[in-house]
């Protein structure tokens, strides 16, 4: 059966799929625009880049598509509110935010008619987000890449939040690798859509280095691990030489703070520096954030091919008689 559209505030995506925001230039307009053109919600990663660069990228995206463009900004960023206001001034359609919880963001959203989408990992924060005025809620489980707010699996966490959220769209995120799983989350678990990030790194349009993509393509299940992040949250990443040294508890503290990007930073290492090194292809020193199921992905596709695959697989299962998940 045909998948239903996803409506968030005044915006309706023909395909109920959000491309997850990946910061420090992993998901830029180069990726977000083709996602939006395919009928999904394209997301620019807005954390840890200069405000003027973010504004220019949003304007570029908005000039290249009539589709929906969002920006993902971590609440943990020191200049969180500057990034939010700059994004809104640049014409972004919606703000997606996680890695902490902001109450003030909902007033900004209301005052500027900008939908705010909250990323949560517990029923308590989901209820609070709905009460405060979130236009939609992303339920991000332990299988996701990057910073994590829970150790609970998606198929255990989502039903608990589905019980307490009923007024706004609820989006499933974390470890979804194909359209069959998309249909499962929507059909069996009652999700209004899904958010997918790791799969979109392995697209031709994603502007990370070839080393970044090849590192993900080469990943085995045992190469995916949890690390400590200076943000104060666990993070899911690939076990590269830098990460192995981190796991071995070597002293990796930066001699000085070049970015001063986080509200609170425990300085165990400079996360911005090592994420940038991954972006540019430094395998030895790079921090490669990834979802738990990256090892299942073995090809680089175009964004259009990813959408074709997900939609055809999902619609072959979604609400079809006798389907078992």
Condensed to tens digits (0 to 9), the pLDDT of residues 258-282 reads 555 554 545 566 677 778 888 999 9
Structure token digits, residue 145: 């890449």
Distance between CA atoms of residues 11 and 8, nearest Å: 5
- The answer, yes or no, to whether residue 237 has pLDDT greater than 60, is yes
Contact 94, 112 (CB under 8 A): no
* pLDDT for residue 241 is more than 70: yes
Summarised one tens digit per residue, pLDDT across range 44-95 is 998 878 899 999 999 999 999 999 999 999 876 667 888 999 999 999 999 9
Report the SS3 class of residue 12: strand
Express each pLDDT in 173-201 by its tens digit.
Answer: 999 999 999 999 999 999 999 999 999 99
Tell me which residue of 175, 171, 198 sits closest to 18, measured CA to CA.
171
Q: Which residues of 183-216 are buried (b: 16+ CB within 10 A; e: fewer)?
A: bbbbbebebbbbbbbbbbbbbebbebbebbbebb
Contact 31, 303 (CB under 8 A): yes
317 pLDDT above the threshold of 90 = yes
On the question of pLDDT at 311 being above 60, the answer is yes
User: What does the alpha-carbon distance between residue 267 and residue 203 come to, in Å, rounded to a whole number?
Assistant: 33
- The three-state secondary structure class of 215 is helix
The pLDDT of residue 263 is 47
Q: What angle do CA 61, 149, 299 make, to 5 degrees?
A: 55
Question: Rounded mean pLDDT of the chain?
Answer: 92
Q: Average the pLDDT over each of 45-59, 156-170, 194-208, 228-242 and give the range with the smallest value.
A: 228-242
Closest CA to 17 of 168, 148, 181, 145: 181
With cut-offs at 50, 70 and 90, classify the pLDDT of residue 220: very high
Residue 104 neighbours by CB distance under 10 Å: 12
Give yes or no for residue 254 having a pLDDT over 80. Answer: no
Residue 229 has pLDDT above 80, yes or no: no
Domains, the chain, ranges and CATH?
6-206+297-317 (3.20.20.70), 210-294 (no CATH)
pLDDT of residue 257: 61
CB contact at 8 A, 36 and 27: no
Position with higher pLDDT, 301 vs 260:
301
3-state secondary structure of 82: helix
Q: Which residue has the tokens 């517990």?
A: 122
C-alpha span between 298 and 114 (Å, rounded): 37
The more confident residue out of 316 and 242 is 316
How far is 249 from 173, CA to CA, in rounded Å?
Answer: 30
């Amino acid at each position: 059966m045909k998948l239903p559209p996803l409506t968030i505030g005044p915006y309706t995506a023909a395909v109920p799929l959000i491309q997850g925001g990946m910061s420090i230039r992993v998901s830029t307009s180069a990726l977000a625009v083709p996602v939006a053109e395919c009928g999904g919600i394209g997301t620019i990663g807005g954390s840890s880049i200069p405000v003027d660069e973010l504004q220019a990228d949003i304007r570029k995206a908005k000039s290249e598509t009539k589709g929906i463009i969002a920006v993902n900004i971590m609440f943990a960023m020191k200049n969180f509110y500057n990034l939010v206001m700059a994004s809104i001034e640049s014409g972004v359609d919606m703000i997606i935010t996680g890695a902490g919880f902001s109450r003030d963001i909902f007033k900004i959203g209301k005052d500027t008619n900008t939908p705010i989408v909250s990323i949560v990992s517990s029923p308590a924060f989901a209820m609070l987000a709905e009460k405060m005025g979130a236009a939609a809620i992303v339920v991000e489980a332990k299988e996701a890449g990057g910073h994590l707010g829970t150790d609970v699996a998606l198929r255990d966490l989502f039903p608990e939040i589905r019980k307490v959220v009923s007024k706004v769209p609820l989006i499933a995120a974390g470890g979804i690798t194909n359209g069959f799983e998309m249909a499962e989350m929507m059909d069996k678990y009652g999700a209004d859509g899904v958010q997918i990030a790791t799969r979109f790194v392995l697209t031709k349009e994603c502007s990370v280095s070839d080393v970044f993509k090849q590192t993900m393509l080469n990943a085995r299940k045992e190469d995916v691990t949890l690390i400590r992040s200076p943000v104060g949250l666990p993070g899911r990443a690939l076990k590269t030489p830098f990460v192995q040294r981190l796991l071995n508890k070597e002293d990796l503290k930066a001699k000085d703070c070049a970015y001063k990007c986080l509200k609170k930073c425990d300085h165990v290492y400079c996360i911005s520096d090592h994420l940038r090194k991954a972006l540019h292809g430094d395998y030895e020193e790079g921090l490669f954030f990834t979802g738990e199921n990256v090892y299942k992905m073995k090809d680089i596709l175009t964004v259009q091919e990813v959408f074709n695959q997900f939609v055809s697989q999902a619609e072959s299962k979604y609400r079809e008689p006798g389907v078992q998940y």
